[in-house]
């Protein structure tokens, strides 16, 4: 069985993992938590540089102890924060040279999808990918993950985090808003923006911060979730109908939200589609998803020559030929 090492570090989480074709063998992460405000790209990159040796060592120790041969080094090539990507790519190049094995540049969004499929058994889903940096509805069509709908401005995770900051809650705001929303009694109307198959969240975040000056915070959190998640579910439902798929896969950090899951579950039930969510540890950014995607790419014959290993901060999901499906 092939064994690949993967390195993730597009934003807040530096993570190194070792996987084979069946499971995760080892994973070690170091999480950057901003002292105040949101993620600062250079500070996050500094964090990753400081912790790189220890997370890599922890994984290599397992490989050495079990006498495992690493056959490839995968890294998240983009999209993500430039300084963070460069730190990770530098380490990945060094490891690939050290072990004399191929380098594989992985698209971070595709890695979320592939690990989701691997860990849930979904085969050909419409994917709702909602995270701190991205919000997209995708499905595989003619060899690429086509983007059916996406955010026109900021991601839903970013909108939740921004709103949380404006009402004085620490980063990341998503889980805190979810907890507060549970005690809400009332829905306050907020801007619902779906244009064609795309959505927008920046107006919602601003309007919610305004509403929080007048209304109960729990009610605003609840209303924020109901509005934002309804937008996501509407577009996912239309993609399901349009692409004629029978599965929905939820991935990305915002997918941890139980209300979002509940809403998607209801929609899937009504449509006779099957709903898949991976375990929580595979939802947010993690090294295993990069290692696994690198592995399936390598098995299909794809590697990344050193000369083509420059980072790609704006790397789009639909630029990648899905050679492994
Ligand atoms: P990722 O970029 O995929 O690692 O996801 C990080 C994002 O997920 C951040 O914006 C968090 O606020 C958000 N998040 C994490 N847990 C939850 C939750 N329970 N509800 C809503 N958003 C969440
Ligand atoms: Mg992510």
Report how far ligand 2's centroid is from the alpha carbon of 194 (Å): 23
Report how far ligand 2's centroid is from the alpha carbon of 219 (Å): 28
CB 2, CB 68: distance < 8 Å: no
Adjacent-strand bridge partners of 5 = 18, 73
pLDDT at 40 over 80: yes
Q: Is 203 left (phi over 0), alpha (psi -120 to 50) or beta?
A: alpha
Bridging pattern class, strands 194-195 and 126-130 = unpaired
Bridging pattern class, strands 135-141 and 144-150 = antiparallel
Give the global pTM: 0.94
Structure-block tokens of residue 98: 């050290």
Residues flanking ligand 1, CB < 6 Å: 131-133, 157, 160-161, 172-175, 178, 252-254, 256-257, 284-285
Q: Is 255 helix (H, G, I), strand (E, B) or coil?
A: helix
Report how far ligand 2's centroid is from the alpha carbon of 66 (Å): 30
The average pLDDT across 170-194 equals 96
Per-residue pLDDT tens over the stretch 113-124: 999 999 999 999
Average pLDDT, the chain: 97
Q: Check residue 36 and give its pLDDT.
A: 80
Q: Is 107 helix (H, G, I), strand (E, B) or coil?
A: strand
DSSP of 157-197, one letter per residue? HHHHHHHHHHTTPPSP-HHHHHHHHTT----------EETT
Per-residue pLDDT tens over the stretch 233-286: 999 999 999 999 999 999 999 999 999 999 999 999 999 999 999 999 999 999
Q: Is 134 helix (H, G, I), strand (E, B) or coil?
A: coil
Q: Check residue 215 and give its pLDDT.
A: 97
Residue 216 CB contacts under 8 Å (≥ 6 apart), including other chains: 184, 185, 186
Dihedrals phi, psi of 29, to nearest 5 degrees: -125, 160
Residue 287 CB contacts under 8 Å (≥ 6 apart), including other chains: 6, 7, 8, 15, 16, 17, 27, 28, 29, 55, 59
Helix axes 217-243, 174-181, angle to 10 degrees: 110
Q: Quick one: CA dihedral 270, 250, 226, 281, positive or negative?
A: positive
Nearest-atom index, ligand 1, CA of 171: 12
Q: CA-CA distances (angstroms) from residue 190 to 149, 203, 211, 231?
A: 21, 9, 9, 12
Q: Is 103 helix (H, G, I), strand (E, B) or coil?
A: strand
CB 91, CB 18: distance < 8 Å: no
In the chain the domains, ranked by start, together with CATH numbers, are 4-112+282-319 (3.30.420.40), 124-280 (3.30.420.40)
């Amino acid at each position: 069985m092939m064994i690949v090492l993967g390195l993730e570090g597009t934003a807040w989480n530096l993570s190194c993992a070792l996987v084979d074709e069946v499971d995760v063998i080892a994973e070690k992460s170091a999480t950057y938590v901003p002292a105040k405000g949101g993620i600062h790209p250079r500070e996050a990159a500094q964090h990753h540089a400081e912790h790189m040796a220890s997370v890599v060592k922890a994984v290599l120790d397992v490989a050495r102890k079990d006498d495992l041969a690493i056959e490839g080094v995968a890294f998240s090539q983009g999209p993500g924060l430039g300084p963070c990507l460069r730190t990770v790519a530098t380490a990945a190049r060094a490891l690939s040279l050290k072990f004399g094995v191929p380098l594989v540049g992985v698209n971070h969004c595709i890695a979320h999808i592939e690990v989701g499929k691997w860990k849930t058994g979904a085969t050909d889903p419409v994917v709702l990918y909602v995270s701190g940096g991205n919000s997209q509805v995708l499905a595989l069509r003619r060899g690429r993950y086509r983007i059916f709908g996406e955010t026109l401005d900021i991601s839903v995770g970013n909108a939740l985090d921004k709103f949380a900051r404006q009402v004085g809650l620490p980063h990341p705001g998503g889980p805190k808003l979810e907890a507060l929303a549970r005690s809400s009694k009332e829905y306050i109307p907020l801007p619902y923006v779906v244009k064609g198959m795309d959505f927008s969240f920046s107006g919602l975040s601003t309007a919610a911060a305004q509403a929080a000056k007048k209304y109960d915070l729990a009610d605003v959190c609840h209303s924020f979730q109901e509005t934002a998640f309804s937008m996501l579910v509407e577009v996912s439902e239309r993609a399901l109908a349009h692409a004629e798929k029978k599965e929905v896969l939820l991935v990305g950090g915002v997918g941890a939200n139980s209300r979002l899951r509940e809403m998607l579950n209801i929609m899937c039930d009504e449509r006779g589609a099957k709903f898949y969510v991976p375990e929580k540890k595979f939802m947010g950014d993690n090294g295993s998803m990069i290692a696994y995607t690198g592995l399936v790419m390598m098995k299909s014959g794809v590697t990344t020559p050193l000369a083509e290993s420059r980072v790609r901060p704006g790397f789009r999901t639909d630029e990648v030929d899905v050679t492994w499906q």
